[in-house]
Amino acid sequence: SVPQEDPSGTFVQLRLSLVQTACGKKAPRPQNCRPLENRRKPVCVACYKFDNSDVPKVLDKYHNCGPSHHMAVKEIKQRDEAECRAVEEAGKATDALYLPGMYAFSKGLPA
Output 23 or 71, whichever has higher pLDDT: 23
* pTM reported for the whole predicted model: 0.63
Count structural domains, the chain.
1
Residue 44 placed within a domain: yes
The reply to whether 98 falls in a domain is no
Confirm whether 105 is domain-assigned: no
Q: What is the pLDDT of residues 62-87, one digit of tens each?
A: 998 876 666 677 788 888 888 888 88
Banded model confidence at residue 104, pLDDT cuts 50, 70, 90: low
Q: What per-residue confidence (pLDDT) applies to 62?
A: 92
The verdict on residue 10 lying in a domain is: yes
What is the arithmetic mean of pLDDT over 94-105?
A: 54
- In terms of pLDDT, which residue wins out, 111 or 30? 30
- The verdict on residue 14 lying in a domain is yes
| Enclosing domain of residue 14 | 4-89
83-90, Cβ contacts within 8 angstroms, sequence gap of 24 or more: 83/47, 84/13, 84/45, 84/47, 86/60, 86/62, 87/11, 87/47, 87/48, 87/49, 87/60, 87/61, 87/62, 88/4, 88/11, 88/13, 88/47, 88/49, 90/8, 90/9, 90/49, 90/59, 90/60
Is 27 inside any structural domain?
A: yes
